[in-house]
Amino acid sequence: MKKLISVFLFVFIFVTIAAILTGCSEELITNNPVLSTKGIYVLYEGSFGQPQSYDYSFIYKDSNTVSTNVFQNSNGGSALNAYPNGMQLKGGTLFIVSQGNFGLPGTIYKIDAGTNQLISSKNFGTNPYSLVAGTSGSFYVTNTASDYVSVLDNNLNIIADSLKVGFNPSDLVSYGNYIYVAKQSYTFENSLAIINITNNNVQKVFFNTPPVSVETAENRIHVSTYSGKTIYSIAQQNNTIVDSTKLSITEPAIGTIVSLDYRTMFVLGVPDTTFGYNIGKRIYKVDIETKTIDPSFNIIFTGNDDAYGISYNALESRLYVANSKSGAGNGEIRVYDNSGNLVNTFPDIGGKFPKRIVFKTF
């Protein structure tokens, strides 16, 4: 009997202490709402099996300070669903898409961009990966573990859930009356899907290797073809290929591309195609009119450092690069000028595997 009482007492004390500690932890989280003004959102994928690591941070431009785990701090400790990869800012609203566990529905979040508090959320799709705004408040979302794009309205109601675009759709952009859908490097179909937003009809342009990134620039759609190491230019008026630029680089593949202006692209060199990652150690500056690489532009990562996400802020004329540090610790953001000079570093972004970068200008 004494032994049972001792065990009961131990359990009671343990549970009480755990409750106190948990209560303290939650109090710290819920009493730290994050208000976003002008700055940069950084979405990080987090670590496998660690739900509280799925979140985003915010960099305040006026003070160059970083608020981390913004969603949890602003929403009572609730984390995002697994592997958040898509982020879109539309007016005063932030939309985030999380993949969820493989082969299952993910989640889209509608968040107040000023207070970072959740407005609403919805589970849908098959590993929704990225999103872009269409017309009349609609959003087009890729389902990367499947072969279709979902269309949702501004209130997260599903308008269409079966726009067939080919296997493993990933990033997408909107230009004119069309949505252009790239693929993952491991896709079964090397096509760029083109969705007409007036009727949701889909046409395709095929390549010899996976079209892993797509970017817009002055009546042109530029497509990065992975192991083909070629950037194709498509005329927006008729969606046909009008030019191509083959890159003579040492890496076996190219990944993400972003535009500096109508003719200049920043291109991520990918050193390892074994696992199909869109991650690299070097960024090139390419003139697609002269088909040349700027030899003086020199952004190189070594060791555990790597370029996991890149984005260009035209208002600042700055290239932002998310360094995942190979998951060895929290990632960082590096900021470069147009010549490739490092002008700022945010050494701890608060989470692992930062990738998506979105700029808030108000």
What does the longest C-alpha to C-alpha distance in the chain come to?
Answer: 87
Mean pLDDT for the chain? 90
Rounded distance between C-alpha atoms, residue 362 and residue 359, angstroms: 9
CATH of 81-164, one of 2.40.10.480, 3.40.50.720, 3.30.420.130, 2.40.50.140: 2.40.10.480
Over the stretch 295-353, which tens digit does the pLDDT of each residue have? Answer: 999 999 999 999 999 999 999 999 999 999 999 999 999 999 999 999 999 999 999 99
Spell out the residues 6+ positions from residue 18 whose beta carbon is closer than 8 angstroms to its own.
none
Residue that is written with structure tokens 């989470």 in the block:
351
Q: Are 54 and 79 in contact (CB under 8 A)?
A: yes
Rounded distance between C-alpha atoms, residue 165 and residue 204, angstroms:
8
Q: How many CB atoms lie within 10 A of CB 294?
A: 14
- β pairing state of 230-235 and 220-225: antiparallel
- Residue pair 160/147 in contact (Cβ under 8 Å)? The answer is no
Q: Give the three-class secondary structure for 70.
A: helix
Q: Please give the pLDDT value at position 32.
A: 65
E strand spans, 3-38: none
SS3 15: helix
CA contacts within 13 A on the Cβ side of 186: 10
CA–centroid distance for 23 within its chain: 33
Residue environment code for 149-166, b if the CB has 16+ CB neighbours within 10 A, otherwise e: bbbbeeebeeeeeebebb
Q: Is the confidence at residue 26, as pLDDT, over 60?
A: no
31 pLDDT more than 50: no
E strand or H helix that includes residue 57:
strand 55-60
Q: Does position 29 have pLDDT exceeding 80, yes or no?
A: no
Q: What angle do CA 67, 68, 70 make, to 5 degrees?
A: 90
pLDDT, position 218:
87
The domain limits of the chain are 81-164
Q: Identify the three-state secondary structure at position 4.
A: helix
pLDDT, tens digit, 9 for 90 and up, residues 227-265: 999 999 999 889 999 999 999 999 999 999 999 999 999
Dist CA 86 CA 124 (whole Å) = 14
155 three-state secondary structure: coil
Asked whether the beta carbons of 45 and 83 are under 8 A apart, the reply is: yes
Token reading at 121? 């959320």
Token pair in block for residue 125: 């799709």
Tokens read off for 97: 């898409």
pLDDT at 173 over 90: yes
**Angle value at C-alpha 155, between 154 and 156, nearest 5 degrees:** 90
Predicted confidence at residue 114, as pLDDT, reads 95
Say how far residue 98 (Cα) sits from the centre of its chain: 10
Alpha carbon distance 332, 317 (integer Å): 20
